[in-house]
Amino acid sequence: MRNWGVWRYDRTVSPNTVNLAQSLADTVSGPEGDLLAEREAAVEWLRSAGLLAEDTEITNSEHGALLRLRDALRDVRSARSTGREDREAAARLSRALADGRLVVTVTPAGAAKLASSARAPYSSVVAAIAIAVAEADG
């Protein structure tokens, strides 16, 4: 019998707030303006939300991807709240959430859990947001 070993994923993912998807969507409006407009501000927001460790950053391209994710999320939520479909926004959000590289893992007790198969910090951020989106719509 062949021993396949145990595959380990770098990070298990669990969003730390029930309202994470809404919180992300709301970063564009408010008395302070767009909380994610600058990369450094986005890093601080991600850290305060518990999504990014103090010793990590996001790149300029990841910052752009985060803004696209947020905008697609806002568009999908807006369409949903008015009872209409927005296929283009849904496709953009699906593409943005794919960066989370979610996989299903199973504990020894048989419970299914979500984890990110990527080792990059930004992918873990996206994975947490993807879980929050799924749970909010579930």
Residue 12, phi then psi, degrees to nearest 5: -85, 150
Let me know if residue 4 belongs to a domain: no
The amino acid at 35: L
1 inside domain: no
- Residue 21: how many CB atoms within 10 A of its CB? 23
Q: Are 20 and 14 in contact (CB under 8 A)?
A: no
Which domain, by its residues, includes 60? 13-137
Mean pLDDT value of segment 97-109: 90
The gap from C-alpha 48 to its chain's centroid, in whole angstroms, comes to 15
- Alpha-carbon distance of 53 to 121, in angstroms, equals 8
- pTM for this one? 0.82
Residue 100 falls within a domain, yes or no? yes
Q: Using one digit for the tens of pLDDT, what is the confidence trace for 8-33?
A: 454 445 555 558 988 999 999 778 89
How many structural domains comprise the chain?
Answer: 1
Provide the residue count of the chain.
138
